């Protein structure tokens, strides 16, 4: 049994299908990039993995547990924006990764000091220890996203979900974020799902690249069908242009 199993998932909003017949299995520690046209349902797929929404059909299981009904600590997430708390300083944002699970969202006494020490170790690791007492709004976009990733990891989730995490960053910062993420992954070995609209980013970071697209197309009614995983590339042997197609799909293969 695989670590993450997505079984025959459909999702529609009202009468409009967004995703149909999505089947994916993922092993522990794999980095999955998700690419596809804008509006094809990549974020929707991530919301399903997050259990922020329930699929209209099908099921998603992680580590053999029953499907989640709402987001919880087994799933970490970083969005393009709004992923850190603006009213807490950088250190408290990391401590929140432990404290929010408590009944009043706070830690006290020695527990609090221990969590702060772990937070400082995490800040060291993500290169933010020099701004531990600053508020997020004073940080650059790249630093805020690093903080968001560190905060998500502080909760020790089973899978980490990233929805275009570097989409709002300039190209230089993006590259350093790639190094940061690959380095962090080398240390922690997370199972990651990352949505990106940048193909080369997907192949550079991912072990696998899933392409979402509509396998059927009605020219008179573009919304008639939903998208599914049309390609599942193995990007491990150095990515573009050496990718190999892992699975047979029911759509055209590239020549």
Strand ranges of the sheet holding 208-213, from the earlier edge strand across to the other edge: 75-78, 159-163, 191-195, 31-36, 208-213, 228-234, 244-245
18 binds, among Mg ion, another protein, ligand ADP, none (CB under 5 to 8 A by kind): ligand ADP
Q: Taking CB under 8 A as the rule, does residue 79 contact another protein?
A: yes
Check binding of 87 to another protein (CB under 8 A).
yes
State the Cα–Cα distance between residues 175 and 88, nearest whole angstrom: 28
- Specify the residue, 81 or 178, whose C-beta has the smaller distance to another protein: 81
Q: How far apart are CA 114 and CA 19, in angstroms?
A: 44
Strands (E), 28-151: 31-36, 57-62, 75-78
- Binding string, residues 124-163; x marks residues near another protein by CB under 8 A: -----------x-xxx--------x--xx--x-x------
CB 183 within 8 A of CB 213: no
Using the Cα atoms of residue 175, residue 188, residue 96 and residue 129 in order, give the sign of their dihedral. negative
Q: Are 234 and 213 in contact (CB under 8 A)?
A: no
Q: Which of 4, 24, 44, 58 binds ligand ADP (CB under 6 A)?
A: 44
Q: Which of 71, 127, 167, 215 binds another protein (CB under 8 A)?
A: 71
Q: Which of residues 25-84 bind Mg ion (CB under 5 A)?
A: 43
**Residue 83 is a binding residue for ligand ADP (CB under 6 A):** no
Q: Which residue is nearest to Mg ion (CB)?
A: 43
Q: How far apart are CA 142 and CA 158, in angstroms?
A: 24
**Residues lying near ligand ADP in the complex (CB under 6 A):** 13, 18, 36, 38-44
**Residues lying near another protein in the complex (CB under 8 A):** 50, 52, 70-73, 75-77, 79, 81-88, 96-97, 99-106, 135, 137-139, 148, 151-152, 155, 157
């Amino acid at each position: 049994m695989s670590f993450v199993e997505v079984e025959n998932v459909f999702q529609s909003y009202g009468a409009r299908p967004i995703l149909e017949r999505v089947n994916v299995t993922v092993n522990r520690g794999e980095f999955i990039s998700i690419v596809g046209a804008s509006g094809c349902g990549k974020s929707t797929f991530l919301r399903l993995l997050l259990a922020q929404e329930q699929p209209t059909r099908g099921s998603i299981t992680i580590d053999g547990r029953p499907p989640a009904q709402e987001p919880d600590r087994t799933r970490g997430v970083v969005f393009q924006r709004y992923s850190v708390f603006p009213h807490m300083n950088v250190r408290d944002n990391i401590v929140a990764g432990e404290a929010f699970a408590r009944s009043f969202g706070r830690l006290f006494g020695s527990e609090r000091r221990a969590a702060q020490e772990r937070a400082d170790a995490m800040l060291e690791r993500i290169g933010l220890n020099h701004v531990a007492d600053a508020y997020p709004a004073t940080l650059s976009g790249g630093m805020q996203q690093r903080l968001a990733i560190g905060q998500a990891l502080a909760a020790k989730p089973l899978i980490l979900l990233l929805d275009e995490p570097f989409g709002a960053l300039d190209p230089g910062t993006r590259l350093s974020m790639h190094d940061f993420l690959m380095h962090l992954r080398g240390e922690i070995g997370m199972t990651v799902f990352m949505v990106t609209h940048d193909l080369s980013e997907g192949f550079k970071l991912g072990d696998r690249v899933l392409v979402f697209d509509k396998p059927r197309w009605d020219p008179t009614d573009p919304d008639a069908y939903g998208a599914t995983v049309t390609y599942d590339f193995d990007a491990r042997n150095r990515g573009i242009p050496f990718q190999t197609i892992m699975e047979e799909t029911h759509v055209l293969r590239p020549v």
